[in-house]
Amino acid sequence: MVQSASQQDVLEIVGRSSLSGHVKIGGAKNAALVLMAGALLCPDVCRLRNVPNLADVTKMADILSTLGIRIQHHEDILDIDAREISTAQAPYELVSQLRASFFAIGPLLARYGVAEMPLPGGCAIGARPVDLHVRGLQSLGAEVTIESGVVHAAIPGGRRLQGAAIHFDYPSVGATETLMMAATLADGETTLHNAAQEPEVVDLANFCRAMGARITGAGTNTIRIVGVEKLHGVEYSVVPDRIEAGTFLLAGAITRSEVSLSPVVPEHLTAVIAKLREVGCTVVSDTPNSLRVLKADRLTGVDIQTQPYPGFPTDLQSPFMSLLSICEGSSVVEETVFENRLQHVAELQRMGANIRVKGHVAVIEGVPLLSGAPVEATDLRASAALAIAGLAADGTTILQISVTWIAAMTILSVRCRHLALALPVRP
């Protein structure tokens, strides 16, 4: 059982829980944030549906509001009115808190010919530079300089961006999204080679296409964009969150419970489901948009390497490690996407996990049971990892979470409580 403690920045998790029930999966955070930036491309009103109610979405709305964009949020609907933009300069205090807000640089530049964006912040999971975004925008003809931590981008002579062939050194999700958005309003054709193939990139392409953009190849490593004169307002529903869905599958697996979820696109979780099955879990898809993990008996360790999509997602590496920490035998987890994304290991160790780290590799020797402990999360996904570890642990886990992750974790808390209520909780 998960309980929100009276203090807002702490979750108290009573362990050895058995979960049961059905979880409604929300819209993808990472898609919603970039669609909000994408709405700046059209001088019109866009209505986004299925927007998750998270602190990051509110923060993104605050940032866009400082640019003069009018935003109305009602339940899971977000109306973004970008008919008038008063400034193309985003404020440092807000951008530094949310890396995704940097993605607005592409639409601002494409529509206004100028953008000023402070270097972004975000989760404490590594350096997370923006060189691929910057080099890509330069290839499209923008002049880009970085002064005092602010990226200044402008199209010389007040012209439009010019289509170009761009090859990414690495299939960065953010850079692919920035360049795709910028190219929708460029003169001529842009080709993005070695592009990211994540479902959130595809969702952005679908959103832009609905607004009138000409984009093909999203979901492959080569995306072609033929620039158009203007885009128009649209109503669009955000894709289900594959990371949230994966987290709930893991919550079921680690507590040896049966949990079902929908809506979800099962193909988006192919790599995760394959690893869950390798561990010994049964995952079934009763309908095209649902998944169910069954009560597991014996769980054994597996090796995981995080990779760009369709590989195993880095965002589920830490919750999966919580599961591996109670699997029989040894597992090896290699984090290849971010250089500093094993910070949850120290906290899992406090809960009794047997994990050794060398560089970006963690070797896990499974223990029969974790024990509840006071733990602290460093980023959103680590919070989720520690929450599900706490669900399976003996005793109570007190999870300190930064204010940034409160909304997301409250949702996890409420949904888990709902799950737990469906069946008596075994102490």
* Chain residues that interact with ligand UD1, rule: CB under 6 A: 30, 33, 99-100, 126-133, 170, 172-175, 196, 198, 200, 314-315, 337-338
**Which listed residue (42, 46, 123, 327) is catalytic?**
123
The span from the CA of 259 to the CA of 422, in Å, is: 11
Is 425 exposed, middle or buried (CB count within 10 Å of its CB: 0-12, 13-18, 19+)? middle
Which of 116, 244, 223, 245 lies closest to 177 in space, CA to CA? 223
Residue count (the chain): 427
Our CB check for ligand UD1 shows the closer of 122 and 301 to be 122
Question: What one-character DSSP code corresponds to residue 378?
Answer: S
Q: How far is the CB of 173 from ligand UD1 (least distance, A)?
A: 4
Question: E strand or H helix at 399, and its extent?
Answer: strand 396-400
The span from the CA of 131 to the CA of 151, in Å, is: 11
Asked if 253 and 293 touch (Cβ cutoff 8 Å), the reply is yes
Our CB check for ligand UD1 shows the closer of 102 and 236 to be 102
Question: What one-character DSSP code corresponds to residue 285?
Answer: -
| Spacing of C-alpha 158 from chain mean position | 35
Our CB check for ligand UD1 shows the closer of 217 and 311 to be 311
Identify residue 2 by its one-letter amino acid code.
V
- Rounded to 5°, angle at Cα 140 from 139 and 142: 90
Q: How far is the CB of 174 from ligand UD1 (least distance, A)?
A: 3
Active-site residue, 208 included: no
Our CB check for ligand UD1 shows the closer of 133 and 268 to be 133
Q: How far is the CB of 337 from ligand UD1 (least distance, A)?
A: 5
Q: How far is the CB of 161 from ligand UD1 (least distance, A)?
A: 18
Tokens read off for 323: 């599961």
- For the CA atoms of 409, 415, 420, 422, the dihedral, rounded to the nearest 10 degrees, stands at 180
Asked if 28 and 200 touch (Cβ cutoff 8 Å), the reply is yes
Q: How far is the CB of 386 from ligand UD1 (least distance, A)?
A: 17
Q: How far is the CB of 98 from ligand UD1 (least distance, A)?
A: 8
Q: At what angle do helices 317-324 and 270-279 cross, to 10 degrees?
A: 10
Which of 96, 115, 112 lies closest to 104 in space, CA to CA? 115
Q: Half-sphere exposure (CA, 13 Å, Cβ side) for 272?
A: 30
The span from the CA of 363 to the CA of 142, in Å, is: 45
Q: How far is the CB of 47 from ligand UD1 (least distance, A)?
A: 21
Asked if 402 and 377 touch (Cβ cutoff 8 Å), the reply is yes
Our CB check for ligand UD1 shows the closer of 161 and 204 to be 204
Our CB check for ligand UD1 shows the closer of 19 and 123 to be 123
Our CB check for ligand UD1 shows the closer of 29 and 256 to be 29
What positions carry a catalytic annotation? Answer: 123
